[in-house]
A and B are shown apart, each in its own frame.
Chain A
Amino acid sequence: MIMAYKILYIDDQDSSTRKKDFENIGFEVIIHKPTNNFKEIEVKVRDGIDALVLDYKLTEGKGEQACFDAPTVAQFVRTLHVNDTSDIPIILMSNQSVYTNSYKKDFTSQDLFDFTITKQEFNLNIVDFGEKLKSFIAAYSKIKSDKNLLLSLGLKKEDEIHSRIALSIGKIQKNIYKVSTLIYEDIISSIGITIGEEVLAARLGISLDSPDWDTVLDSLIESKYIGVFSDIKNRWWMEKVNFWWKEVISESTPIRRLNAEERVGLIKSKLKLKKLTVTEKTKHSYSSNFWTICKYSKEPIDTFDGVELLKDYLPWQEKEYLSIDSALLDRDEFKNQISKIDKKAIRELASKLNKDE
């Protein structure tokens, strides 16, 4: 039998239910009630645990209380491993999304947690959480043993990667947490050198509910991302998708040049498929030369129709966009990411639409 992963769970409240939850999804759990004695934590961490799960609030327990919260513990544990390669995934859990949100990677670059989850989210998707945590533990161990980013990404040692990734990795190769974050957050969670299923479908012009979609995916098997985290993330290497397009679909015409209907037409005829539906453009889009998806609705759009989300992108990442349709919803979470020009254009369109009604 495979040994269960051992996790250390630190919470100032009664943790017996949580312990059961973790055990039900196959973990061995050590519970720790925080005091101000860091030595206790160090001993338990060094004892060989595979991951650390922290409740945010550690200062409200009965009896002896700690005078610090989860980030302090996380910082302490990260520092323990600063010079060795025994770092472990650290997960932040909290009752209040305000804590988990502020430690999410798109909000800050605080280098502490691998991912965050609210207890509500946890209770709703205990199994998914288990899969994700196991994937992180496995990724850490593979990164440790590979000692090579390309291998961890499921590529060959002699393969080439974006020069700026190569540069970044030079600085962090020995820091397992940073390598893992680079892969998970910056390489396989954003659109760029890898893409997810929705962007892939958008670029091929195919509607995801097409019965023959899986056959298209089978044909793309060589482009599939097979590195760490591939058990929880379906990704494809864009460069390999382009190569596939050239080899299998059309040598002369690149995908980007064609509209969705033309793309699907070619794919149907080359793969001899019938049941592929052309994906529709959103109401306020002009073009069906889809290249990305709306960050909010996930509907396919051409970047030229998009409302750009202003943020710092890494050199190998592509910009994110909202569809005009989603921008019209005027949602709070995107307000600070839209240029004045776009805001004005959207306002004008909204008032025009109002008048027309």
Chain B
Amino acid sequence: MNSWDLRNFRNDLSIFVKLIEDNGVTGDFSDLTALLSEIDDKQLVEYSLENIIFHVKGFIKGAVPNDLNYCEIHLNHMLMCKETLDFELDPLYRYIFDISISSFKSETSTEKAYYSSWHHDRHPNNQNVKYTHPTYHFQFGGKKMELIDDEMSVLSCPRLPHPPMDIFLGFHFILSNYYSNKAFSFVNSLLEDIDYQNIIKRAQQRLWTPYFKAFDSTNTHQDFTMNKIFPLYLS
């Protein structure tokens, strides 16, 4: 069974949308519902999601400044899988995954936003780079980066290796990183949901299993090699 099969992806997405709704995850996920009908006209898994916004309500612990109480996480995510898939090549043809975070003092006073952002970048060719470039890496900052104060600087490094994510894994990433499981009961109810787990596992199978096989000595993948995805490692 081809794991990039459009039918499986659609079926998973349909169940996923209902899970998010039933569990009451806070945010605007109408783009996913729209995608569910748009994807019906596609020939392969490809989509561009520009308006997915997670709402994290309540005090944000450990943040600077220390009186932020509401946070909007904007996910800009585009993915296109290759028309012909080869088990030894990166399945993705195009990829964007940007997280822009706007934090506010309160849910009602949203004039002043405190920004931060993470850019997950794909850099298939790391031959002639000035700094280390793992094939898929996270980078702090991004297109819209506002300084919190004059004494703060933002560098484009380090570029931290992290495997690629599709909409399911991206959702999983944000849910697990930004929502406290103590404050939001839907975090654990989703993480424990068998359908949720199965959808995530299938996505892992598509994107993470070949990626992590790079660390296996028997690896035959050409794009996901230790040298490319974790170039710091000297072999």
| A contacts, CB < 8 Å to B | 254, 256-257, 286, 289, 303-304, 306, 308, 315, 319, 339-342, 344-345
Contact = CB atoms under 8 A, between A and B. Distances in A.
A286 B10 contact: no
A340 B41 contact: yes
B195 A319 contact: no
Nearest to B193: A256
Given A306-B11, A319-B15, A339-B40, 5 more contacts: A257-B194, A319-B14, A340-B41, A341-B39, A342-B7
Nearest to B7: A345
A254 B18 CA distance: 20
B18 A319 contact: yes
Interface in B142-177: none
Interface string B1-43: 1000111101110110010011000000000000000011110
Interface in B174-203: 194-195, 198
A344 B42 CA distance: 11
Interface centre among A289, A304, A315 (most CB of B within 10 A): A304
17 contacts: A256-B194, A286-B1, A289-B194, A303-B11, A304-B15, A304-B198, A308-B11, A319-B15, A319-B18, A339-B40, A341-B10, A341-B39, A341-B40, A342-B7, A342-B10, A345-B5, A345-B6
A238 B18 CA distance: 17
A304 B10 contact: no
B7 to A, nearest CB: 4
**Which 6 pairs from chain A and chain B are nearest by CB?**
A256-B194, A345-B7, A340-B40, A341-B10, A339-B40, A257-B194
A289 B198 CA distance: 11
Interface centre among A254, A306, A345 (most CB of B within 10 A): A345
A304 B12 contact: yes
Given A254-B194, A304-B198, A341 B15 contact: no
Contacts of A340: 40-41
A306 B12 CA distance: 11
Nearest to A308: B14
B194 A341 contact: no
Nearest to A316: B22
A256 B40 CA distance: 28
A132 to B, nearest CB: 32
Contacts of A342: 7, 10
A340 B8 CA distance: 13
Contacts of A286: 1
Nearest to A253: B194
A315 B1 CA distance: 32
B83 to A, nearest CB: 15
Given A256-B194, A256-B195, A303-B195, A341 B14 contact: no
Contacts of A308: 11, 14
Contacts of A257: 194
Contacts of A339: 10, 40
Contacts of A341: 6-7, 10, 39-40, 42
A342 B198 CA distance: 20
B157 to A, nearest CB: 42
A206 B36 CA distance: 33
A289 B195 CA distance: 11
A249 B12 CA distance: 29
Nearest to B198: A304
B138 to A, nearest CB: 31
A304 B194 contact: no
A52 to B, nearest CB: 39
A340 B18 CA distance: 20
Contacts of A254: 194
Nearest to A256: B194
Interface string B37-53: 00111100000000000
A106 B195 CA distance: 28
A257 B194 CA distance: 6
A345 B22 CA distance: 28
A339 B6 CA distance: 11
A214 B11 CA distance: 34
Contacts of B22: 315
Given A339-B40, A345-B5, A303 B10 contact: no
A114 B127 CA distance: 72
A257 B14 CA distance: 20
A304 B18 CA distance: 14
B222 to A, nearest CB: 29
